């Protein structure tokens, strides 16, 4: 993994090259005084970038200060570290360029992340419906293998919705690129690998045909076994339960969401 340590300049704690921060500082200082979050494309030095920045009001600032005291990083810095981890371990992931937090005393007040922009790569839920059947099967097989290896290495994404995956058409075939990885990471957490599958099948229940669902889950089980991570006998029920828990949370803002999903027969 590329060795990147946090460094400080004034009120800012930053991950990434100091020369990039020097170019970004004016933009960040203008943004950090705004009351609303900002996100979108831009340019930073030679890089086309996607920018995510958000102010932290007193209550979330205090929560994140307490989380950091417990060893948990600020979300945008955690996402930087997680994207670095994924790329270092051979996964397709957005390239993190710069991340940081501005503090006032002990409280974080503004956080940001710059990643390299991937403008030609559609989200999985946009690409999948019109893709040829052969490419759909190839993508799901590759995603199953990637996810099985990721889980074997102890990394759980914890926000693995189809909208947080984009599709890269590589010479070796279509592959999913992982984005928005701030919730999870390597090491133990409250939500394990079943949660990732529950997130994926929240929309995957309608996005993938029953045959494709069976293909993905069969390939995931096979890859997990090859990697020495045998799945328990109650694995289908655990994935169904994880999907149900995710759907209950999402139903508050997506009232038309199907509340149930049944684990398909495996090949």
Whether residue 179 contacts residue 157, with contact meaning beta carbons closer than 8 Å, is answered with no
How large is the C-alpha radius of gyration of the chain?
Answer: 19
Nearest Cα to 154, choosing from 180, 183, 192? 192
Residue 3 has what pLDDT? Answer: 46
Pairing of strands 173-178, 165-170: antiparallel
Rounded to whole angstroms, how far apart are CA atoms 64 and 56? 9
What domains lie within the chain, and their CATH numbers?
Answer: 7-116 (3.30.200), 124-250 (1.10.510)
26 three-class SS: helix
The mean pLDDT of 124-133, rounded to a whole number, is 96
**In this structure, what token pair is assigned to residue 214?**
């069976």
Comparing C-alpha atoms, which of 162, 182, 66 is closest to residue 115? 182
119 pLDDT above the threshold of 80: no
Beta bridge partners of 49: 42, 116
Q: What confidence tier does 195 reach under pLDDT thresholds 50, 70, 90? A: very high
Task: Tell me what pLDDT residue 189 has.
Answer: 76
Position 4 scores a pLDDT of: 59
Q: DSSP labels for 100-162?
A: EEEEETTEEEEEEEEEE--TT--BHHHHGGGS-HHHHHHHHHHHHHHHHHHHHTTEE-S---G
**Residue 180: half-sphere exposure toward Cβ, Cα within 13 Å:** 11
pLDDT in tens, 75-86: 999 999 999 999
256's tokens: 């038309």
Asked if 212 contacts 140 with a C-beta cutoff of 8 angstroms, the reply is: yes
Contacts of 146 (CB under 8 A, 6+ apart): 91, 92, 175, 176
Q: Which of 223, 154, 165 is nearest to 193 (CA)?
A: 154
Cβ partners under 8 Å of residue 180, min gap 6: 79, 159, 164
Question: What's the CA gap between 81 and 76, in Å, rounded?
Answer: 9
Q: Is the pTM of this model over 0.85?
A: yes
pLDDT for res 68: 85
Average pLDDT value for the chain: 91
Across 224-247, average pLDDT: 96
Query: What end-to-end distance do the CA atoms of the chain give, in Å?
Result: 37
Range with the poorest average pLDDT among 28-37, 111-120, 161-170, 183-192:
28-37
Joined together, the tokens standing for residue 267 give 């090949």
CB neighbours of 223 closer than 8 A, spacing ≥ 6? 144, 145, 148, 149
144 neighbors 86 (Cβ within 8 angstroms): no
């Amino acid at each position: 993994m590329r060795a990147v340590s946090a460094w400080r300049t004034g009120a800012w704690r930053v991950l990434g090259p100091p020369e990039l921060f020097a170019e970004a500082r004016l933009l960040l200082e203008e943004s950090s005084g705004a009351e609303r979050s900002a996100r979108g494309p831009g340019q930073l030095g030679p890089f086309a970038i996607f920018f995510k920045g958000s102010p932290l009001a007193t209550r979330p600032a205090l929560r994140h200060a307490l989380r950091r005291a417990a060893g948990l990083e600020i979300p945008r810095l955690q996402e930087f570290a997680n994207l670095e981890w994924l790329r270092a371990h051979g996964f397709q992931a957005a390239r993190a360029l710069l991340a940081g937090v501005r503090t006032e005393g002990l409280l974080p007040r503004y956080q940001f992340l710059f990643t390299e922009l991937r403008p030609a790569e559609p989200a999985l839920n946009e690409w999948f419906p019109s893709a040829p059947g052969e490419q759909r099967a190839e993508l799901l097989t590759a995603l199953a293998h990637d996810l099985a290896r990721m889980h074997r290495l102890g990394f759980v994404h914890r926000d693995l919705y189809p909208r947080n995956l984009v599709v890269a058409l590589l010479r070796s075939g279509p592959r999913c690129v992982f984005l928005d990885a701030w919730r999870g990471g390597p090491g133990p957490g409250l939500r394990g690998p079943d949660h990732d599958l529950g997130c994926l099948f929240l929309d995957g229940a309608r996005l993938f045909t029953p045959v494709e669902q069976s293909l993905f889950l069969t390939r995931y089980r096979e890859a997990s076994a090859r990697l020495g991570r045998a799945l328990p006998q109650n694995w289908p029920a655990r994935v169904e339960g994880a999907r149900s828990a995710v759907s209950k949370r999402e139903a508050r803002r997506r009232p038309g969401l199907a509340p149930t999903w049944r684990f398909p027969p495996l090949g």
